[in-house]
């Protein structure tokens, strides 16, 4: 089966046919957007299961090379994962829960302190002889900043609680992931058979591109997030910051979101540090800047490289769209989905070589 044949045929398509294809794609996207609220809840467990399957796939493949059957390899990986979760539940989770409870009690004090700080800044601006329009603009900005701060603190609390409150997902995701790991080749063959034989080469190339790019991104991004969160935890402990474990966990979670995630995760730590002492807040800020710089200059190039291949402006635009479509999960998946869509579009239009 030669994937080049459908690609060459695609190059010979008249402009009207290509326009019709793009119109069909646009209609499909609009249709999915119209029913996003109905399908979002149902799709979320499958997306989480797919991410878990991509994380576990290398270990399953390694055990298969050690002459274990695929089912036994998956079972062994799941057993190891269960042991790790039990150890976390015994030694780590209680500390996290205790720190979260203590941190939640501090949120009102943080909010009041931040609002007082913003009010003081407003008073300082009033003492300066600025034009009325400038003063009104600054006051409106301060009010919006106060509202954004409150929303951010509420969002952090809801996100942490939501991670541990969905019993259905906790049970369903591992089951779905097991079947994805076990039967993914059969699923791909079944999907491939839905297309005419003359197009199966191109479809197979699309499958391989998606599998390669999404798998590399998931494993690379999770590795970077865990390393960054661990570094934040260690450094915050060294500077004497409370709640270092929870704050490191927040960084590990939100770091999956490019650009915005590290900023969102750093805000609570800096505010807590400033609430205790200005010098501690400065130390926490330095820790965040140094670790994030290390991540962007060392970890990302060596682990992810240029896997996504997108300009930062495109990624930021995709993040904003992802937040609109799917909230936090949409922001997490926005960058790889955008990269895959651009990659598939280039292959579809005959501008890139398909993967052999």
**Spatial separation of the C-alpha atoms in residues 312 and 43, rounded to whole Å:** 28
CA nearest neighbour of 52 among 170, 209, 164, 191: 170
CA 46, 199, 338: angle at the middle one, nearest 5?
Answer: 45
Lookup result for tokens 């820790």: 287
- Torsion angle in degrees (nearest 10) through CA of 320, 43, 178, 254: 30
Examine the pLDDT at 25 and tell me if it is beyond 90.
no
Say how many Å lie between the first and final Cα of the chain, rounded.
Answer: 10
d(CA 281, CA 272): 7
Residue 237: its pLDDT value, please?
A: 93
pLDDT of 57 strictly over 80: yes
pLDDT of residue 248: 92
Structure tokens at 198: 């003359």
d(CA 270, CA 81): 34
286 vs 294: CA distance, rounded Å: 12
Q: Which residue has the higher pLDDT, 328 or 234?
A: 234
What are the backbone dihedrals phi and psi of residue 13, each rounded to the nearest 5 degrees, phi first? -65, 135
Q: Is the pLDDT reported for residue 158 higher than 60?
A: no
DSSP class of 255:
T
More confident residue, 59 or 134: 59
Q: Which two tokens stand for residue 40?
A: 């979002």
Share of the chain above pLDDT 70, in %: 68
- Residue 315 pLDDT grade (very low, low, confident, very high; cuts 50, 70, 90): confident
Whether the pLDDT of residue 99 is over 90: the answer is no
User: Using 50, 70 and 90 to split pLDDT, how confident is the model at 72?
Assistant: very high
Instruction: Look at the alpha carbons of 244, 250, 253, 257 in this order and tell me if their dihedral is positive or negative.
Output: negative
Sign of the C-alpha dihedral computed for residues 309, 311, 316 and 321 taken in this order? negative
Full-prediction pTM beyond 0.85? no
Would you state the pLDDT for residue 342? 78
Classify the C-alpha dihedral 152-154-157-159 as positive or negative.
Answer: negative
Q: Is 258 helix (H, G, I), strand (E, B) or coil?
A: coil
Vertex 123 angle, CA 121 and 127, to 5°: 115
The pLDDT score that the predictor gives to residue 8 is 46
**Res. 6 pLDDT band, cuts 50 70 90:** very low
More confident residue, 33 or 257: 257
Q: What is the mean pLDDT of the chain?
A: 76
Mean of pLDDT values over 144-157: 58
What distance lies between CA 262 and its chain's CA centroid? Answer: 11
Q: Can you tell me the distance from the alpha carbon of 3 to that of 201, in angstroms, rounded to the nearest whole number?
A: 4
Looking at residue 172, what is its pLDDT?
Answer: 83
Tens digits of per-residue pLDDT, 235-258? Answer: 999 999 988 998 998 899 888 877
> How far is it, in rounded angstroms, from Cα 157 to Cα 104?
7
């Amino acid at each position: 089966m030669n994937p080049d044949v459908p690609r060459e045929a695609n190059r010979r398509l008249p402009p009207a046919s290509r326009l019709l294809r793009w119109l069909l794609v646009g209609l499909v996207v609009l249709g999915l957007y119209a029913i996003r609220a109905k399908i979002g809840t149902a799709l979320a467990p499958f997306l989480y299961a797919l991410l878990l399957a991509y994380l576990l796939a290398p270990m399953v493949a390694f055990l298969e090379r050690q002459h274990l059957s695929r089912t036994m390899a998956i079972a062994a990986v799941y057993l190891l994962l269960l042991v790790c979760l039990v150890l976390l539940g015994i030694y780590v989770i209680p500390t996290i829960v205790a720190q979260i409870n203590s941190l939640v009690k501090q949120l009102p004090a943080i909010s009041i302190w931040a609002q007082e700080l913003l009010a003081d800044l407003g008073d300082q601006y009033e003492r300066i002889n600025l034009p009325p329009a400038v003063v009104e603009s600054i006051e409106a900005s301060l009010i919006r900043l106060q509202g954004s701060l409150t929303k951010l603190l509420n969002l952090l609390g809801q996100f942490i609680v939501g991670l541990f409150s969905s019993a259905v997902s906790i049970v369903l995701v591992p089951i779905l992931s097991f079947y994805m790991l076990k039967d993914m080749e059969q699923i791909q063959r079944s999907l491939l058979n839905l297309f005419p034989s003359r197009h199966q080469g191109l479809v197979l190339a699309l499958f391989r591109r998606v599998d390669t790019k999404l798998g590399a991104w998931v494993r690379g991004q999770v590795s970077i997030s865990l390393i960054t969160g661990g570094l934040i935890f260690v450094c915050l402990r060294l500077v004497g910051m409370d709640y270092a474990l929870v704050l490191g966990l927040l960084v590990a979670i939100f770091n999956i979101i490019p650009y915005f995630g590290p900023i969102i995760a750093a805000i609570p730590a800096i505010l807590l540090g400033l609430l205790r002492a200005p010098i501690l807040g400065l130390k926490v800020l330095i820790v965040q800047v140094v670790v994030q710089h290390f991540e962007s200059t060392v970890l990302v190039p060596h682990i992810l490289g240029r896997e996504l291949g997108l300009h930062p402006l495109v990624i930021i635009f995709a993040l904003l769209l992802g937040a609109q479509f799917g909230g936090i999960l949409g922001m997490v998946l926005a960058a790889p989905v955008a990269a895959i869509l651009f990659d598939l579009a280039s292959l579809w239009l005959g501008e890139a070589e398909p993967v052999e």
